[in-house]
Amino acid sequence: MVNSNKQAIVAQLTFVLIFIGNLSIAQSLYEIDQYTVAHGLDSDYARGMCQDSLGLMWFDHDSHISRFDGYKFKIFRHDPDDSLMNLGLPLIGRLQSDKYGNLWINNLINHNARQDILKYDFKTEGFIRIQPSVQHYINWIAADQNKHRLWLGARFGGGLYEYNQGTGETRSHLNENDKDNLLLNNHISIVEDQGDHLLLSTKNGLWNYSKSKHIFYRPHLLNSQDSSLFFSGWVIKIPQSNWVLLQNSWVLLKVDSLLNIKLRIDLPTEIHNSDFAIDKQDVIWFLNQKGVFRYEYARGNIKTIYDNTTNQHHLSEITIDRNDNVWFTSETGIRKINRPDFEYYISKTIDTHKSRTDYIQLYKQGHENYSLVLGGRDFNNALWTAPIKLENSELTPISFDGQHDHPANLVSSNIGKNYIWIAAYSRGVIGIGYDSISRKLNPNNVVYYSREQGNPYTLSCDSTINVYEDKFQNLWVTTAKGLNKIDLKMKYGSVNSVHHYYNNPNDTNTINFNAIDFIVPEDESSFWVSTSVGVDLFKNGKFHHVFKGRERVGCIGKSKKGFLYVGTGGGLYTVNNNNGKYSIKKTIVTEDVDIGFIEDNYNRLWISSRKGLLLFDPEKNIVVNFSNQKTLSNTGGFAKTQDGIIAVTLNDAIITFDPQKFNLSNTESHTILTSLKINNRIPITGNRSVGTNDFKIPSDIKVLNDLTLDYLHNNFSLEFSSVEMIAPQNILYRYKLDGYDQDWIITKANNRTVTYTNLSAGQYTFRVESS
């Protein structure tokens, strides 16, 4: 038994990236992958393309066909000695897929191709030859709900052909509603099989064809005024979509199932006579010999994505796959424009030759959200501020007492009643005057708290890491040498103005370790503190050791649902309080989570890890990994506005983005087995001849459920693929042969083949999952 499926754990994504600098210029960048003979193609020249029901991409190259599984190409060539590979020469017709998952080669489209139709057979990995008796070039092929019947839309007045695959009979149907109008039967496309009738696109508008009555009639329109649009000129209902193109006037209509018009788009002249496709966000992509362009009709915005004006290479066709990647073919290979899922904005600092941002604090300045950006160890200890918004914003420096730089590493901050407090590593604590009521920052009102030699009522250490002001006007400061509580109602340095908390190995009520990192409030009178060895809850003057004896702790944070997130060197944990008893569970996040994270308004966690930016959705139980984007490989601290905009530090800049606009594809995909070898030979399928050393199987491995081997053929290898077209190189796999393997075996995308030798007699089940 063969069992292959996909468990959605990690998705790899690409982005729209907008840089913002002092010149206020925004530029969109799209990653484009190119495939040529260097990647396994027989020829750089490619023409048509389509995607089959398994997600595999097919391309025609005139004299042969190629198929892509996300990793490599398989070439299908004409073989006169193999009846299942008799593709025809010199030219192969057009590739086409239908809604029932069939893949066709239409060799009836022009006089250069051989006059037949080829249907791809998933079972035999070959093509079945069909020869209907037609007198015209065929524009479109569609399978019927009755699987024995094919419908063929003809060009040049040929009307509609009906072919019975069981009997081989061909019937011709002409639209004779107006015998003098030759356009009725010209360029027919079967766009939808609606059960008892077909919906047809023609050069004389839309028509229905009744399968039982064998008559042509106009679709019923609720708004009769729309008949002038749908019933005249060349009207193309785009298959498996809710779009109609008025070819003569280049107008796009978005319609519902009853052809009621929901939106009208008068396409700009740049799109006229171009090949185009529409993605899931209703963005129009079009291709002509000048290049590939992206048209957002809502903004009236046309962007050049691929400029062909310099190269002048011939561009052929454009299509969009089920993951919303845009593909186009040319004489110089196949190109894929990776799906833009994520749009963010970068605001750069001024002295970019030295700058590095490590932490960001959100504060209100008037009615606007502002970010206070703290410089890290390579940042000249600078402070910067900028409004948080999804547009141009410039980070500007804040001066203190006429100085720009400070002899400290600014690590973290917290907004108190009268100050924004900053943990300045090696300098203690800096307070910047801030009125939380009037929301005004006053950089001229600055206080400094540091350790004073010989005074026990000052900080225990100037190596401060985190600060937190509670409702009782106590300022809690974590340091490399214990926890400090500063009573802000008292003069700093006076008797009892500062209290210290240290680890005492003989007292279990003390903190677990003296080098303390983060502090996160639990409620008004208790808070969590983290060290590298664990997480404690400080309550009623005692430290309760809740998270201990596990991986090195990096960062902590409270969720809106009340539980605690703990980021460690081995992944992410949750800590839940069940009536005073704490349950600890590890999430599916296994990356090193020790820099920081923030929860968005949709309960998803954005994480800065050692390997880049991650997104964890606990409800869907998936992790989105942005590691394939070099731009996001060095993110730092986070901040979030009330309306959900997130800002995150990035080297010499901050990134802002709206999590609501993040699109995770819900397209279902499945890991499939792509290759089988038995005794190091590819097995035989279909009616092909079987040699002495050959082994025959009933179906190709992609659709085979059960495989029986004898003792002479008990050595075999399997190859698998997720058929994922978005960053497939970053996908992880795990597989297991039940009855042989004790545990799941994890492997990377570059090692997707497994071999088993000399298996004992028995029943085995092979399972593979991708993540």
Nearest Cα residue to 346 out of 725, 616, 120, 26? 26
Taking the C-alpha atoms of residue 466 and residue 494, their distance in angstroms, rounded to an integer, is 23
- 704: domain CATH number is 2.60.40.10
Residue 12 has pLDDT above 80, yes or no: no
For residue 759, the 8-state DSSP code is: P
**637, 359 Cβ separation under 8 angstroms:** yes
Task: Name the pLDDT band for 382 (thresholds 50, 70, 90).
Answer: low
518: in domain = no
Amino acid at residue number 764? Y
| 695 alpha carbon, distance to own chain's centre | 41
* Domain edge (last residue) among 131, 160, 176: 131
Average pLDDT over residues 61-73: 93
63: in domain = yes
pLDDT at 93: 80
Amino acid at residue number 334? I
Task: Name the pLDDT band for 9 (thresholds 50, 70, 90).
Answer: very low
Give the gyration radius of the chain's Cα atoms: 33
Residue 572 has pLDDT above 80, yes or no: yes
Residue 539 has pLDDT above 90, yes or no: yes
Taking the C-alpha atoms of residue 395 and residue 393, their distance in angstroms, rounded to an integer, is 7
269: in domain = no
Task: Name the pLDDT band for 353 (thresholds 50, 70, 90).
Answer: very low
Taking the C-alpha atoms of residue 219 and residue 736, their distance in angstroms, rounded to an integer, is 54
5: in domain = no
Residue 312 has pLDDT above 90, yes or no: no
**101, 58 Cβ separation under 8 angstroms:** no
**41, 73 Cβ separation under 8 angstroms:** yes
Task: Name the pLDDT band for 666 (thresholds 50, 70, 90).
Answer: low
- By three-state DSSP, how is residue 234 classified? coil
How wide is the angle at C-alpha 293 spanned by C-alphas 290 and 299, nearest 5°? 135
Taking the C-alpha atoms of residue 80 and residue 369, their distance in angstroms, rounded to an integer, is 71
Residue 494 has pLDDT above 90, yes or no: yes
Residue 263 has pLDDT above 50, yes or no: yes
- 87: domain CATH number is 2.40.10
Q: Which residue has the higher pLDDT, 91 or 256?
A: 256
Task: Name the pLDDT band for 400 (thresholds 50, 70, 90).
Answer: low
How wide is the angle at C-alpha 616 spanned by C-alphas 613 and 619, nearest 5°? 165
Average pLDDT over residues 205-224: 91
By 3-state DSSP, what share of the chain in percent is helix, strand and coil, each rounded to 5? 5, 45, 50
pLDDT at 86: 84
Residue 415 pairs in a beta bridge with: 420
**Token output for 672:** 């499939």
Question: With 0-12 CB in 10 A as exposed, 13-18 as middle and 19+ as buried, what is 515?
Answer: middle
Residue 768 has pLDDT above 60, yes or no: yes
pLDDT at 592: 87
- By three-state DSSP, how is residue 614 classified? strand
Over pLDDT 70: what percentage of the chain? 84
The number of domains in the chain is: 2
Q: Which long-range contacts (CB under 8 A, 24 or more apart) does 299-303 make?
A: 302/268, 302/270, 303/28
Q: What are phi and psi of 660, to 5 degrees?
A: -65, -30
* Domain edge (last residue) among 101, 131, 161: 131
Average of per-residue pLDDT values in the chain: 84
* DSSP-derived secondary structure for 468-510: EE-TTSEEEEEETTEEEEEETTS-TTSTTSEEEE---TT-TTS
Over pLDDT 90: what percentage of the chain? 44
Residue 265 has pLDDT above 50, yes or no: yes
Taking the C-alpha atoms of residue 324 and residue 315, their distance in angstroms, rounded to an integer, is 20
Mind listing the pLDDT tens digit for each residue in 705-759? 898 988 888 899 999 999 888 878 878 888 999 999 999 998 888 999 999 998 8
Nearest Cα residue to 1 out of 770, 738, 710, 745? 738
Task: Name the pLDDT band for 664 (thresholds 50, 70, 90).
Answer: low
89: in domain = yes
β-bridge pairing 2-4 and 765-770: parallel
Average pLDDT over residues 38-52: 94
Lowest mean pLDDT among 136-145, 164-173, 205-214, 341-350: 341-350
> In sequence order, what are the residues at sequence separation of 6 or more whose Cβ sits closer than 8 angstroms to the Cβ of residue 250?
266, 267, 271, 272
Domain of 78 in residue numbering reads as 32-131
Amino acid at residue number 244? V
Lowest mean pLDDT among 196-200, 248-252, 328-332, 590-594: 590-594
Average pLDDT over residues 399-420: 71
281: in domain = no
Lowest mean pLDDT among 403-417, 558-572, 729-743: 403-417
Q: Which residue has the higher pLDDT, 241 or 453?
A: 453
Average pLDDT over residues 626-654: 72
Q: What are phi and psi of 184, to 5 degrees?
A: -60, -35
pTM, two decimals, is 0.71
β-bridge pairing 57-60 and 49-51: antiparallel
Task: Name the pLDDT band for 439 (thresholds 50, 70, 90).
Answer: confident
Residue 641 has pLDDT above 50, yes or no: yes
Nearest Cα residue to 449 out of 421, 414, 474? 421
Mind listing the pLDDT tens digit for each residue in 670-699? 789 999 999 999 998 888 888 888 889 899
pLDDT at 24: 23
Average pLDDT over residues 661-672: 67
pLDDT at 19: 32
Looking at 712-771, which runs of residues are DSSP E strands?
716-721, 732-738, 745-748, 753-756, 765-770
Task: Name the pLDDT band for 142 (thresholds 50, 70, 90).
Answer: confident
Residue 661 has pLDDT above 60, yes or no: yes
514: in domain = no
Average pLDDT over residues 438-461: 90
Residue 193 has pLDDT above 50, yes or no: yes
**613, 623 Cβ separation under 8 angstroms:** no
For residue 661, the 8-state DSSP code is: G
48: in domain = yes
For residue 515, the 8-state DSSP code is: S
Residue 365 has pLDDT above 80, yes or no: no
Nearest Cα residue to 166 out of 197, 132, 117, 120? 132
Mind listing the pLDDT tens digit for each residue in 498-538? 999 999 999 999 999 999 999 999 999 999 999 999 999 99
* Domain edge (last residue) among 115, 131, 147: 131
Amino acid at residue number 9? I
